[in-house]
Amino acid sequence: MSKLAEKVQEELLRAIDNDELVLPTLPEVALRVREAAEDPDISIQALSRVIGNDAALAARLIKVVNSPLLRANKEITDLQTAVSRLGINYTSNLATGLAMEQMFQATSDVVDRKMREVWNKSTEIAGICHALCRHYTRLMPDQATLAGLVHQIGVLPILTFAEENSELLADSISLNHVIERIHPLIGERILRTWDFPTPLAVVPGQHLDFSRDSSRVDYVDIVQVATLQSHLGSPHPLAAMDWSNIPSFAKLGLDPKADLKADEDLSASMEAAMQMLR
């Protein structure tokens, strides 16, 4: 690691330890939707009104509910019917994930490109998570999708820091080193600050620990397998790893050597889930 990367990493870790790192806040609409959905007496109509205050998000949810993955026999054109079809929890998690896209934007072209690259990869992995969850577990596909969307959230403060540090911004190798080393730690800190439930909050910090072996399949396992599958056949270091001893594959009942895209049904499900998020 370069001297610059070491210096920046130390600085960021110190800021984390001292609670001085400025963490991103969840978009206002996502906060309102999550707060409304946590009310046990909330009605579909009331939740629809909350979402309806953000026209862009409302339009996205209607588009999602008409996507190949979720569409009914008849096209849904109004928000209340869309929320009714999805259900309150599914709507809340999906709205949170979709609203987060607006966070992955920056004023400088270099950082903006990197943020969009991170978001695009996150949506790809989230789509794979959705399909894996539905086909191989009894966990909630909406939670698995959200886990995929937030697993790299820790990259945001690092890129924001880089935007204000021209030396780091000009050295992409050092920047990538810093991101790889500490984004999991920052990501978990962010999700805990946002009061995400623990099964989701631990995903950023644990999804790259391939020796991890929990007692039963969880969202970390799903994100791990989705991440590895997303790099299959690429020059990425994760594709060159020996996957045969990674516990998450066994817990999902998957052959580590299998290319999931070779399964036509699963591949179609993954592609539909990815398109749903774009």
Q: Which fold has domain 3-24+104-276?
A: Hypothetical protein af1432 (1.10.3210)
**What residues contact residue 131 under an 8 Å CB cut-off, 6+ apart?**
266, 269, 270, 273
Which of 198, 207, 220, 148 lies closest to 180 in space, CA to CA? 207
Percent pLDDT > 70 in the chain is 100
Predicted confidence (pLDDT) at residue 59 exceeds the cutoff of 90:
yes
pLDDT score, position 128: 96
**What residues contact residue 220 under an 8 Å CB cut-off, 6+ apart?**
147, 202, 203, 206, 207, 212, 214, 248
Q: What is the pTM of this model?
A: 0.93
Over residues 155-165, the pLDDT tens digits come to 999 999 898 88
Helix (H) or strand (E) holding 261: none
Q: What angle do CA 190, 192, 195 make, to 5 degrees?
A: 115
Over residues 222-258, the pLDDT tens digits come to 999 999 999 999 999 999 999 999 999 999 999 999 8
Mean pLDDT, the chain, rounded, equals: 93
Compute the Cα dihedral for 223, 226, 231, 232 and give only its sign.
positive
What residue type is assigned to position 62 of the chain? I
Contact 106, 158 (CB under 8 A): no
**Dist. CA 150–CA 266, nearest whole Å:** 23
Q: How far is CA 115 from CA 84, 102, 106, 152, in A?
A: 33, 10, 7, 10
Binned at pLDDT 50, 70 and 90, residue 117 comes out as: very high
Q: Which residues of 148-163 are buried (b: 16+ CB within 10 A; e: fewer)?
A: bbbbbbbbbbbbbbbb
Predicted confidence (pLDDT) at residue 29 exceeds the cutoff of 80:
yes
Question: 3-class SS at 125?
Answer: helix
**What residues contact residue 240 under an 8 Å CB cut-off, 6+ apart?**
none
Q: How far is CA 92 from the centre of its chain?
A: 15
Average pLDDT over residues 78-100: 95
Ranges of H-type helices in the chain: 3-17, 28-37, 44-52, 55-65, 79-86, 88-99, 109-136, 141-150, 155-163, 166-169, 172-193, 198-201, 203-206, 219-230, 247-252, 264-276
**Residue extents of the structural domains in the chain:** 3-24+104-276
**What residues contact residue 226 under an 8 Å CB cut-off, 6+ apart?**
125, 126, 128, 129, 132, 148
Binned at pLDDT 50, 70 and 90, residue 133 comes out as: very high
Structure tokens at 258: 């299998």
Predicted confidence (pLDDT) at residue 70 exceeds the cutoff of 90:
no
Structure tokens at 174: 């050092």
